[in-house]
Amino acid sequence: MMKKDNLQNLLLDSLSVSIILLDEKLTISYLNPSAENLFDASSIRIIGLPILNFLQPDQKCSLGEVVHLCSLDKALKEAQPFTQREASLQLLNSRHITTDLTASPIVWGQEKMLLLELQPIERLLQLSKENELLSTHDATRSIVRGLAHEIKNPLGGIKGAAQLLSDDLSSQPELLEFTDIISSETDRLCSLVDRLLGSNALPKLLPTNIHEVLEYIVSLTEKETLGYIEVERNYDPSIPEINGDRGQLIQALLNITRNAVQALKNSVQKTPRIWIRTRIERNFTIRGVNHRMVCCVEIINNGPDIPEEILNSIFFPMISGRPEGTGLGLSIAQSAVDVHRGLIRCETSVDKTTFYVYLPLG
């Protein structure tokens, strides 16, 4: 039978809520893996630091302290628990998050401690948005596949008729130019429809090193851009192999990277740059399934932002922010990631656009 202490540790490690224990000086003495993930730092780096380091200093109380610190100090000294909705926190990397925060005083022997429970609500709102997006994407893909099949049938007939007509006009070479145009344009439309349909091949899911895939993409990007765009990598070497189809992963991540390249080519950025970053996310939900760990690949560029009017539909076919774009690259990327039970999302601002690709581990 599992020992009680081991069971308690297992339960704390499995919680999706971030648990932080503060001592009398409001310094961090314990945090669970969810809190490590929240702060994007290991417990070795965080334990012993004041909780003040993680609070956003934008509201102050009469003592000149951060309002959250005043509330925590009061809860500890007066043994009064409290809950604060939509508490704004600033993390070590200057990222701001919004959470529901509960503080519970604890007395252990002669020691007074404060237990914090943090439930980020941004992810809950994001989940709702993602589920809506995935449902819309599934419906759109079904419609597109149906239309694509209906289009391919008459295209085959048009090309066959053009070839027969070409044979009959062999004695009139001046007219063959028109049948050649019909055939070439038909081939172009067939190719476009095939891209809309996506690959019919079943994925070959094998142990795959995501960093090997990314290095291949970086190599291609550097060759294609001839050094015009700098690519910086920041990998987490602890990420294990994922169960994936190498070809489809390359297609998905390469399409996103090429999308970033096109955005930078159309910008006036003096130092165009792409960052590729990998990290592990814990207790991450995709399509209603909670995954203990997922690999997160971030592809970031410092080009112009994506127009707000198309931001929510960039993964749909034929939607593009560039006049010359086909609007298929991100749609194909989404389909390839779907095969891996993953998720793509995008955040954009004036000088930075980030695509997040989440792939389940195990």
Place of tokens 């008729």: 161
At 298, the pLDDT band (50, 70, 90 cuts) reads very high
State whether 27 and 151 are in the same domain.
no
Q: Would you give the distance in Å from CA 72 to the centre of its chain? A: 34
State whether 211 and 312 are in the same domain.
yes
Whichever domain contains 113, its CATH number is 3.30.450.20
State whether 235 and 337 are in the same domain.
yes
State whether 189 and 228 are in the same domain.
no
State whether 250 and 352 are in the same domain.
yes
State whether 116 and 166 are in the same domain.
no
State whether 260 and 164 are in the same domain.
no
Whichever domain contains 227, its CATH number is 3.30.565.10
Domain end (from 197, 216, 233): 197
- Confidence check: pLDDT of 67 > 50: no
Dihedral over Cα of 165, 170, 172, 173: its sign: positive
Say whether pTM exceeds 0.75.
no
1-37 residue pLDDT tens: 446 567 777 777 778 888 999 998 889 999 988 888 8
Domain span at residue 187 reads 125-197
State whether 136 and 41 are in the same domain.
no
Domain end (from 171, 197, 223): 197
Domain end (from 87, 120, 153): 120
- Give the mean pLDDT of 234-242: 94
In this structure, the number of other CB atoms found within 10 A of the CB of residue 76 comes to: 20
Can you give the pLDDT at residue 56? 54
Q: Lowest-confidence range among 189-193, 196-200, 256-260?
A: 196-200
State whether 165 and 306 are in the same domain.
no
Can you give the pLDDT at residue 319? 57
State whether 214 and 174 are in the same domain.
no
Distance CA 278, CA 110 (A): 44
346-358 residue pLDDT tens: 888 888 899 999 9
Average confidence score pLDDT of the chain: 79
Residue 114, class by beta-carbon neighbours within 10 Å (0-12 exposed, 13-18 middle, 19+ buried)?
buried
**Highest averaged pLDDT of the listed ranges 44-48, 244-248, 263-267:** 244-248
- Confidence check: pLDDT of 166 > 90: no
State whether 90 and 170 are in the same domain.
no
State whether 152 and 238 are in the same domain.
no
Can you give the pLDDT at residue 59? 46
| Domain count across the chain | 3
- Confidence check: pLDDT of 324 > 80: no
- Confidence check: pLDDT of 317 > 70: no
